Each structure stands twice: as structure tokens, then as C-alpha cells.
Amino acid sequence: MDEFWVFGYGSLMWNPGFEHVERQVALVHGFHRALCVKSHVHRGTAERPGLVLGLDRGGACKGVAFRTDPEYRPAVTGYLRERELVTSVYIERLVTLRLGSGRKVTALTYVIDRSHFQYASGMHAEDAAAIVRGAVGKSGRNEDYVLNTLSHMREIGINDHWMEDVGRRIVSLP
């Protein structure tokens, strides 16, 4: 069976931007979701970077898998490359997912390049919230990105204490 799946762990969960025929909650092992990318385009600028999510090595990550019609694979891949590889901070990768149905599939996703200058790891929640608060890029306000992603994470049963702490601090900052 020739299937084409895409795995989203951040804004792709709530704003995939491409047509799909199926959507399922999915789990990938070997990577975890982290607010570890200094955004210079979509949610910030070079002068005032924001923070966005990346898939960093280690652990596991629950997100959303989208199945598209295989004939649209070139168009979807082209769209995702244009969206995700703007500054080459992500590496395109095929990963094995376990879908909510229990079935294993291979999916396209984007993982963080730890050697890239935009990689930002190990931040305290208060520092991350201060960076997010007020940052704006071509795709909008950074705080909207983080709060929308948190909302969608909750909807599919993802509880991330550090991200929740960042969200609370974004809302409570003056």
C-alpha cells in the first residue's frame, strides 16, 4: 500500500496547510517536542527572534499524523519544504509512528538540527516566555503560536508541564 503520512508536533497539528484524507493522533519514539528553535521568520525576526517547537532527540512525542493522497506527495512535500526549511534549522526525516489505531506507519517530519545557530535548548520557562512575549514574524504573534499549540495539545491529551508553565507565564507577563 503506497501511503504518504506527515507528522505534526507544533503548528502543523492545528494548521497543516495541505489537504489530507485522514488525521490521527500518533506517537514517535526517539524524539521529544521542545520549544528550542529561535524563530527569525515565522514567529520573530533576526532582530527580535521568537521561539517555536522542534523535534529534538530523545524520549517520545505525541502529535498528529496526516495521510494525504499519494498523488499529492510532490505538492505536499514542496509546500512543507517551503514552510519548514526557510532557514535550514530543520532536517527532513522519515520516522516510524504508531497511530492511535495501533498501526505503525512511516511519516515525513522535521527534526531540529542541533548544530544550527537557531537551536536554543535548556531554557527556563520564564526565559522562554519572555522571548515569546512580544515576538512577531510573518506568520503572526509568537504568543498566539504557543497558546494555540498548547490548546491543541490539550485537546488530544498531551500534558507537557514545561510548556504549560511557559503558557501561564506568557499570559501573566505585563
> Given 82, 84, 143, 155, which residue is catalytic?
84
**Which distant-in-sequence residues (6+ apart) come within 8 Å of 80 by Cβ?**
6, 18, 92, 108, 110
Q: Which residue has the cell 485522514?
A: 22
Q: Is 84 an annotated catalytic residue?
A: yes
* Helix or strand holding residue 130 (H, E): helix 125-132
CB of 12 closer than 8 Å to CB of 6: yes
In DSSP notation, 21-77 reads SEEEEEEEEEEEEEEEEEESSSS--SSS-EEEEEEEEEEEEEEEEEEE-GGGHHHHH
Catalytic residues: 84
